A and B are shown apart, each in its own frame.
Chain A
Amino acid sequence: MTHARRSRLLPAAAGLSLCALARFAAAQPFPAEVPAEVPVLPPATSANPSAPDAGAPAPSAPGVPELTPPKLRRDVQPRYPEAAQREGLAAVVVLEIDIDAQGRVESARVVEPATPAGYGFDESALEAARLLQFEPAREGAQTVAVTLHYRFRFVPDVSPQARAQPVPPNTGDAEPRATPPTGQLWGTLRERGTRQPLSGVKVTVFRGEGTSAEGYETETDAEGRFHLEALGLGDWRVLADPDGYYPLRTTEKIAQGSRTDVAYSIERSSYNPYDVLVDAKRVRREVSQISIDARQAERIPGTFGDVLAVVQNFPGVARTGGFDPAGGGVVIRGSAPEDSRLFVDSVDVPLLYHFGNVRSVLPVGMIERVEFYPGNFSVEYGRATGGIIDVELKDIKPRKLGGYADINLFDSSIYLEAPITDELAIAVGGRRSYIDLVLGAALPDTGDTIVAPRYYDLQALASYRPSPAHQLQAFFFLSDDRFEVLFEEPIAAGAETVISDFGLAVNFYRGIVEYKYVPNDKFQSELEVSFGRDRQGLNFGQQLFNNTRLQQGQVRETARYQLSDAIALRGGVDYLFQRYRQEARLPELSQEGDGNDGNDLTESQLTNTAATYHSSAGFAELELRLWPDALLLPGVRVDHFSRTGESAVLPRFTARQQLDERWTLKGGIGLFAQEPTFDETAARVGNPRLGLERAVHYSAGFEYKPLPQVSLDVTGFYKTLHRLVSRSDGVISRAGEAQPLNFSNGGAGRVIGLELSARHELSDKFYGWASYTLSRAERRDARARAYRLFDLDQTHILTLIGSYRLPRNWEIGARFRYVTGNLYTPVTGALYDADADQYVGVDGPVNSGRANAFHQLDVRIDKRWVFEKWMLNAYLDVQNVYNRANADGVQYNYDFSESESQQGLPIIPVIGLRGEF
């Protein structure tokens, strides 16, 4: 069996903090109530950017199984040490308890000893802890071993006999003593700012000192309510001191025969969600996988709070920069952007960012985490030869209406979630940019009509859980980008091409319905049905345009069955239907490896395509645990693509071997395949006869965890790319007519690299990660013999990220990046095109020049104010703090006789405000 990685549950969230109480004889203290149901904790998170440690979540199946903490089944009161009782001492002992999958306490140890020491508190607590029994923790339907912190609070016994004054000698005139009058204290305890009820929190009332001291204790219920009856009249001091919060200390006056109602809000000592880090044991499956929680990702400096921008910091991801409306082209381990796939809950989406690189299309409120697979990914993912980015949607389980509103330099966004019934919850969100309004006011009146870039996105999510075994989730989201310019005077792009206006519109929507069925701990199934449409419109006046429309529907079923303790089977089917239309008149578009061969507006061709395609896949994978601490994942995926008429059988294998608590070895090999892009197979301008592109991924490495909070991941990778689509000068005969081939599958590529990442998980105050990638990516064009560097080859990519939590809800973070400069093709001369009236640069060897290295420091400062019912977070995110003039390329004058570096973005400070309630 794989050694179980323990989970860590903080008692505040678990609601299992118990106290060892001495007896109170005077009043009737309410027993420490153990809630019948402990609150559901946030799902496990992992802050490891490259390869989470063994305990970090690695959901290979879509969705994250819900983690249910253990429930106390048999309580055991510890013995109150006699020596301490004589002195009336109180103490707190915090233990770390390992609970196995059957709910038994395997071991316990002291993590916070009692103060004062030497009275036997620790020993008494350990003795009692070993006798506790629990309902085991569950991950989905499966019981799991966990580790939790358990607090014993020792309060000295104060008996009425000890308090009572001696009765004076009977003088015969003594009168019988009356029952003292009492009152009640009823209250609620909530978290300040979020208004979340705090359950399982000890509330203590006490007064007096020494031998006259008296006190009572109770615990809040699931709604944060508590009450104490039969309290003596007068002032009582109230104390509530749950872990992770500033203590509540106040005084209440109890009046005779009445009920005193109170409502308390206490503030968290830190609103960093990683105070409640749940690090349950999850199956680590992939060779290379990065999983990052949305709440962590949004605070990384330089990303302006945009969760999906964190992808740019992952090892193996090249820096593309710039303004690229082709859609968040992510270059992963030397693969072209179109070779990697973007998913939302395993449903294909065309882009992640508005205008390619500005802001992501999904706001943080809807995102639970981002999963990144740079290579050797599971058989459940396909139609890609590069990497996979899968955005996991939030599993909404709100207990009250909540949400946030965010305003910053670029846009404003809003998010709301609410429970409708116990089974049904909904969430909606939206964002709209206003840089068009800002520019409209700021730019001088040129006479040209400008609609500056503007974007918006909308989301709606509903989750229905009629029973623990069934969950239905529906999600709809859309994204729209638009940019238009109407020139007062037409622009002459040569005599043959004059442009009076320019317009760009990119929009898409997706609807996803998911049904999860987990009837027991052996079987789980997930069915997804999705539909959507992608549209792209581009025009330069009336002469040049490109309008594409893609409608698609997808059905996907994934199931897992635990055959035995050592063997599980996962498999599924995936069917994708696409209806594609394109009408375009455009010049020949630049391809990777074209050098400076830009878009020649004088040579445009009209294309008109309407076609229907479908691709289907079946996949199966075994999870084998044949010997201790090993995991073998042999699998196969079979894809069929109607556009190329080909099928591909793609076997893959991944293996992990945990050597001990600290070391894990891993490796994998697999075949991958994808279709060419639509324009590569378009009639007339492309080659409809193109075949699949293929790749073989090899990777191996190790994970090392020298300390509980420190992890190191080293992965070497190599991949070969075959049958790449590449320009061709060939000619082919179609229907008796000779036509240019345009493209062929004659290209090839190879990429080799090493990724190192080190991570320091959130300790009391600090979180940090460092990643470094060394790589070389090459391509060989169809009409060439030798390999050349890939356009986006970046030899060194270094990212350092750190975040430090200061007192009073201040947080500061920084990100430093160093990346090898971009390649460019130098121009060695120029010719004058007398028809186009412009000079054309004569290229040197493709990608033979390299710009200076890129480096940049980004800083982020957060400050949070916590009010009674809401919180305000202000942030300043400064990109490129020292205003480095990074070279993003080379630009030339009109005859290419002079050149200068094309500068990247300067310092950009962004201020934002977010109100949460």
Chain B
Amino acid sequence: MRIPSSTNATRLPWALCLALALGACDDLSDDQARFSELDRLRVLAVRSQPAALLLGEVATLSALSFEPQQRELQYTWSWCPSRRELAEGGACRIEEAELQRAWAALDTDRELPPYDLGSNREAHWTHVFGADVLQPLCAALSAGKQDAEQALLSCLLGLEVSVSLTVRSAEQEVTAVKRLVLLGEDRAAERNQNPAPTGELLVRDLAEDRLVEAGGALAPGHEYALSLALDEAVSETFLPSAPPGAATEASRRETLVLSWFATDGSFPGADGFGDGDGPIGGGGGERTTFVDGASDFGALLANQWRLPRTLDASESTLVLVLRDERGGVGWAEHRFAVGVSE
């Protein structure tokens, strides 16, 4: 995540300190839009299946998008082989023609995917960047350039392939960017799987202290305890790769983050810092987490949902997006009937 800083003259990431400590990094006053509130066109997740690609594999790219009026959406997919600077607009720093020229000069029969991946709900991208082409490709991209930093940089740190999805409705447009995880053959064994929060969601009315039955209606103004049934095995055990110079860590379970979204209401979370009104939360709220050795798995699966006293709609939607720390993502959607406002 990136935390905007309000002053740039410091050496310590002070805005980061303060933002984390006070849970107020992007927060505004209560009447401002909430991260968890589904009230506008949103892209909530972009998934690659498989989550990590081996050479030659084809990734199926899909996205979870939301449009409040469920109007028709247009999709535009593309990819880029270099690091994107999102704050500068996220443009790809390598021209497609340039990449094609460099690719053509390589001794390979693999076909380079075009930047344009189409305008369907799903797209496909083939991993063609084996070790045999990487070095000569980088060299070719940088040849003759006075400032070949962009291309070389992406090659220096491993190839960073990202996909971009622009979703448009009649009135709004959102662009999302996701990095694709490319594995070498030597790391096939620790391949990541996309987690999926597809277990049963239990809803308990806190005021009436009763479980809401499947298909039952929710009451405006009520607060509900949510509990997701999920096997702990969804947090895979893996061996983290150590940064250069660092000691190798021991195997551990993946960190998981579950983001909660709703068309109505909010997720108050625990009292104190991070009451759920910003992108950072703790103890319930907009995100719940599991950190191996630091928190219980159960804390990931529990939350509270407070419905407003007045609701225009007869139905509320709850969306859960589960991410792991290795780029994997999955989601689930729950719809609830809503009773008459009190």
Using CB atoms and an 8 Å cutoff, list the residues of chain A in contact with chain B. Answer: 320, 322-326, 329, 331, 336-338, 356, 443-444, 446-448, 483, 485, 487-500, 502, 504, 536, 538, 540-541, 546, 585-587, 589-602, 605-606, 608, 677, 679, 684, 728-731, 738-741, 791-792, 824, 829, 831-838, 840-843, 888-889, 891-895, 897-898, 900, 902
Residue B21 at the chain A interface, CB threshold 8 Å: yes
Q: How far is the CA of A187 from the CA of B90 in the complex (A)?
A: 86
In the assembled complex, the CB of A431 is this many whole angstroms from the nearest CB of chain B, namely 23
Of the candidates A443, A677, A837, the one whose C-beta lies within 8 Å of that of B259 is: A837
Q: How far is the CA of A564 from the CA of B255 in the complex (A)?
A: 77
Sample 14 A-B pairs with CB under 8 A, ordered by A number: A329-B10, A446-B272, A487-B283, A488-B283, A493-B1, A493-B280, A500-B294, A538-B17, A587-B13, A740-B149, A831-B90, A832-B177, A837-B323, A842-B88
Contacts of B152 in A (CB 8 A): 731, 738
Contact flag A838-B2 (CB < 8 Å), given A444-B272, A498-B291, A740-B153: yes
CB distance B3 to A492 under 8 Å? Answer: no
Of the candidates B13, B178, B272, B324, the one whose C-beta lies within 8 Å of that of A448 is: B272
Residue B170 at the chain A interface, CB threshold 8 Å: no
Using CB atoms, name the residue of chain A closest to B195: A495
In the assembled complex, the CB of A382 is this many whole angstroms from the nearest CB of chain B, namely 21
CB distance A832 to B13 under 8 Å? Answer: no
Q: How far is the CA of A608 from the CA of B246 in the complex (A)?
A: 9
CB distance A491 to B246 under 8 Å? Answer: no
Q: How far is the CA of A651 from the CA of B138 in the complex (A)?
A: 48
CB distance A596 to B5 under 8 Å? Answer: yes
Contacts of A741 in B (CB 8 A): 149
In the assembled complex, the CB of B164 is this many whole angstroms from the nearest CB of chain A, namely 8
* Interface 9-residue window, one of B23-31, B206-214, B310-318: B23-31
Contacts of A488 in B (CB 8 A): 270, 282-283
CB distance B273 to A837 under 8 Å? Answer: no
Contacts of B284 in A (CB 8 A): 489
Q: How far is the CA of A587 from the CA of B8 in the complex (A)?
A: 14
Residue B15 at the chain A interface, CB threshold 8 Å: yes
In the assembled complex, the CB of A785 is this many whole angstroms from the nearest CB of chain B, namely 13
CB distance A589 to B13 under 8 Å? Answer: yes
Contact flag A895-B33 (CB < 8 Å), given A329-B9, A731-B156: yes
Residue B43 at the chain A interface, CB threshold 8 Å: yes
Contacts of A902 in B (CB 8 A): 6
CB distance A599 to B174 under 8 Å? Answer: no
Residue B176 at the chain A interface, CB threshold 8 Å: yes
In the assembled complex, the CB of B93 is this many whole angstroms from the nearest CB of chain A, namely 10
Of the candidates B6, B10, B289, the one whose C-beta lies within 8 Å of that of A498 is: B289
Contact flag A835-B273 (CB < 8 Å), given A492-B280, A731-B156: no
Q: How far is the CA of A36 from the CA of B43 in the complex (A)?
A: 89
Of the candidates A546, A593, A833, the one whose C-beta lies within 8 Å of that of B12 is: A546
CB distance A894 to B33 under 8 Å? Answer: yes
CB distance B295 to A502 under 8 Å? Answer: no
Q: How far is the CA of A602 from the CA of B244 in the complex (A)?
A: 16
Q: How far is the CA of A448 from the CA of B274 in the complex (A)?
A: 11
Q: How far is the CA of A722 from the CA of B330 in the complex (A)?
A: 52
Contacts of B270 in A (CB 8 A): 446-447, 488-489
CB distance B273 to A601 under 8 Å? Answer: no
Using CB atoms, name the residue of chain A closest to B45: A834
- B191-222 CB mask vs A (1 if < 8 Å, else 0) is 00000000000000000000000000000000
Residue B7 at the chain A interface, CB threshold 8 Å: yes
Contacts of A601 in B (CB 8 A): 1-3, 16
Of the candidates A322, A496, A834, the one whose C-beta lies within 8 Å of that of B178 is: A834
Contacts of A594 in B (CB 8 A): 5, 8
Contacts of B278 in A (CB 8 A): 894
Residue B271 at the chain A interface, CB threshold 8 Å: yes
CB distance A325 to B17 under 8 Å? Answer: yes
Q: How far is the CA of A336 from the CA of B279 in the complex (A)?
A: 32
CB distance B243 to A888 under 8 Å? Answer: no
Q: How far is the CA of A505 from the CA of B95 in the complex (A)?
A: 47
Residue B267 at the chain A interface, CB threshold 8 Å: no
Which of B88, B152, B280, B282 counts the most chain A CB atoms within 10 A?
A: B282
Q: How far is the CA of A470 from the CA of B296 in the complex (A)?
A: 68
Residue B4 at the chain A interface, CB threshold 8 Å: yes
Contacts of A892 in B (CB 8 A): 4, 26, 28
Using CB atoms, name the residue of chain A closest to B63: A834
Using CB atoms, name the residue of chain A closest to B272: A446
Using CB atoms, name the residue of chain B closest to A597: B87
Q: How far is the CA of A898 from the CA of B28 in the complex (A)?
A: 9
CB distance B8 to A590 under 8 Å? Answer: yes
Contacts of B125 in A (CB 8 A): none
- B255-294 CB mask vs A (1 if < 8 Å, else 0) is 1110100000000001111100011111110011101001
In the assembled complex, the CB of A816 is this many whole angstroms from the nearest CB of chain B, namely 24
Residue B179 at the chain A interface, CB threshold 8 Å: yes
Q: How far is the CA of A740 from the CA of B278 in the complex (A)?
A: 35
Within 8 A of A (CB), among B143-157: 147-150, 152-153, 156
In the assembled complex, the CB of B251 is this many whole angstroms from the nearest CB of chain A, namely 16
Q: How far is the CA of A677 from the CA of B4 in the complex (A)?
A: 23
Contacts of A728 in B (CB 8 A): 149
CB distance B325 to A495 under 8 Å? Answer: yes
Using CB atoms, name the residue of chain B closest to A897: B33
Q: How far is the CA of A271 from the CA of B324 in the complex (A)?
A: 68
Contacts of A494 in B (CB 8 A): 1, 257
Q: How far is the CA of A887 from the CA of B105 in the complex (A)?
A: 56
Using CB atoms, name the residue of chain B closest to A840: B86
Residue B134 at the chain A interface, CB threshold 8 Å: no
Using CB atoms, name the residue of chain A closest to B327: A835
CB distance B8 to A496 under 8 Å? Answer: no
Using CB atoms, name the residue of chain A closest to B15: A598
Q: How far is the CA of A488 from the CA of B245 in the complex (A)?
A: 32
Of the candidates A492, A602, A894, the one whose C-beta lies within 8 Å of that of B287 is: A492
Residue B18 at the chain A interface, CB threshold 8 Å: yes
Residue B161 at the chain A interface, CB threshold 8 Å: no
Contacts of A838 in B (CB 8 A): 1-2, 26, 279
CB distance B26 to A891 under 8 Å? Answer: yes
Within 8 A of A (CB), among B58-110: 86-90
CB distance A837 to B257 under 8 Å? Answer: yes
Residue B46 at the chain A interface, CB threshold 8 Å: yes
Q: How far is the CA of A740 from the CA of B243 in the complex (A)?
A: 16
Residue B20 at the chain A interface, CB threshold 8 Å: yes
CB distance A540 to B20 under 8 Å? Answer: yes
Contact flag A606-B245 (CB < 8 Å), given A502-B17, A586-B13: yes
Contact flag A490-B294 (CB < 8 Å), given A447-B270, A606-B246: yes
Using CB atoms, name the residue of chain B closest to A791: B8
In the assembled complex, the CB of A289 is this many whole angstroms from the nearest CB of chain B, namely 25
CB distance B10 to A835 under 8 Å? Answer: no
Residue B187 at the chain A interface, CB threshold 8 Å: no
CB distance B86 to A833 under 8 Å? Answer: yes
Q: How far is the CA of A728 from the CA of B16 in the complex (A)?
A: 23
Q: How far is the CA of A48 from the CA of B13 in the complex (A)?
A: 37
CB distance B174 to A832 under 8 Å? Answer: yes
- B224-260 CB mask vs A (1 if < 8 Å, else 0) is 0000000000000000000111100000000111010
CB distance B255 to A495 under 8 Å? Answer: yes
Using CB atoms, name the residue of chain B closest to A588: B13
Q: How far is the CA of A499 from the CA of B289 in the complex (A)?
A: 10
Contacts of A485 in B (CB 8 A): 21, 273
Contacts of B2 in A (CB 8 A): 597-602, 833, 836, 838, 840
CB distance A599 to B15 under 8 Å? Answer: yes
Q: How far is the CA of A595 from the CA of B4 in the complex (A)?
A: 9
In the assembled complex, the CB of B202 is this many whole angstroms from the nearest CB of chain A, namely 20
Of the candidates B12, B15, B87, the one whose C-beta lies within 8 Å of that of A843 is: B87
Residue B307 at the chain A interface, CB threshold 8 Å: no
Q: Knowing that A325-B17, A590-B15, A731-B152 are A-B contacts, what are 11 other residue pairs whose CB atoms are under 8 Å apart, sorted by A's residue number? A: A448-B282, A489-B284, A492-B281, A496-B255, A593-B8, A598-B2, A836-B1, A840-B87, A841-B4, A891-B26, A893-B32
CB distance B291 to A500 under 8 Å? Answer: yes
Q: How far is the CA of A741 from the CA of B153 in the complex (A)?
A: 10
Contacts of A730 in B (CB 8 A): 147, 149
Contact flag A595-B12 (CB < 8 Å), given A487-B273, A487-B282: no
